[in-house]
């Protein structure tokens, strides 16, 4: 069963990168703020931590694959798209059924270091977005489900175009989320306390963050340790065949 809200892509000039830092109370999201083409803000959020029920702190680490030289044939189409929101006419992503998109065998867990941001997912995204971390931070109000946070963001040191793939915020439509693999979620056993993400399963609706700097494309693909591959033509795990991405 695919997502019930709208799968979209948003193309915009980067305004601010807002990592998830120590002391924040809201959702563990890195917020990428881009120009909404009307002078306002459009927020592209990416998960930096899982809600996994796996045992131990490492179970909360997301999986990632970072392609620093993303040369998928879609980049030609992406470059031609006008800035702003696209609900049709954009390349739709599928981690499993498009073998040219991402090599799932390269995915690895990555930590979240909210204190120093060294060698973690915050640092990775900071670098991908070309943020000037030597400059004074800019205040950014993050309106999370669990409360508002006043967070700190940094501006890029050069022009960066961001392509965010995911699902629109409802009902505001002023951002998108679920910029990760959106298939392969198993149905938890009856009576389990595990969160059920199986309703999110579908094909050609996976999320990602792709950036363009001086004509060079990079791509960040994120998944969760609980997701299984391969999937069927509905995006569901295949009984007796599917296994965790880490194998």
pLDDT tens digits along 15-54:
999 999 988 988 899 999 999 988 899 999 999 998 865 6
User: What's the pLDDT score for residue 26?
Assistant: 81
User: What's the pLDDT score for residue 233?
Assistant: 97
Please, which residues have CB within 8 angstroms of residue 154's CB and are 6 or more apart in sequence? Answer: 16, 17, 126, 131, 132, 133, 135, 137, 138
User: Does residue 235 register a pLDDT over 50?
Assistant: yes
pLDDT class of 67 with cuts at 50, 70, 90: very high
User: What's the pLDDT score for residue 191?
Assistant: 74
Give the start-to-end residue ranges of the domains of the chain: 7-244
User: Does residue 107 register a pLDDT over 70?
Assistant: yes
Tell me the whole-structure pTM to 2 decimals: 0.94
User: Does residue 1 register a pLDDT over 60?
Assistant: no
Q: Express each pLDDT in 125-164 by its tens digit.
A: 999 999 999 999 999 999 877 678 899 999 999 999 999 9
Dist. CA 174–CA 182, nearest whole Å: 21
């Amino acid at each position: 069963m695919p997502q019930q809200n709208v799968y979209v892509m948003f193309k915009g000039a980067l305004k601010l990168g807002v990592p998830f830092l120590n002391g924040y109370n809201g959702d563990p999201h890195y917020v990428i703020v881009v120009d909404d083409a009307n002078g306002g803000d459009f927020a592209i959020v990416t998960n930096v931590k899982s809600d996994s029920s796996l045992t131990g702190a490492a179970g909360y680490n997301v999986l990632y694959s970072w392609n620093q030289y993303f040369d998928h044939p879609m980049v030609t189409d992406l470059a031609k798209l006008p800035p702003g929101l696209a609900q049709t006419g954009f390349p739709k992503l599928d981690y499993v059924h498009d073998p040219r998109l991402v090599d799932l065998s390269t995915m690895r867990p990555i930590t979240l270091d909210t204190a120093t941001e060294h060698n973690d997912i915050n640092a990775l995204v900071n670098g991908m977005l070309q943020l000037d971390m030597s400059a004074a931070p800019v205040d950014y109000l993050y309106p999370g489900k669990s409360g508002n946070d006043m967070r700190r963001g940094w501006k890029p040191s050069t022009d960066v175009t961001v392509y965010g793939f995911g699902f629109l915020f409802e009902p505001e439509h002023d951002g998108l989320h679920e910029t990760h693999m959106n298939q392969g979620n198993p149905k938890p056993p009856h009576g389990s306390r595990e969160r059920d993400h199986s309703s999110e399963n579908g094909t050609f609706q996976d999320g990602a963050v792709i950036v363009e700097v001086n004509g060079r494309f990079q791509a960040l693909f994120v998944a969760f340790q609980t997701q299984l591959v391969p999937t069927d033509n509905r995006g569901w795990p295949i009984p007796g065949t599917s296994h965790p991405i880490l194998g």
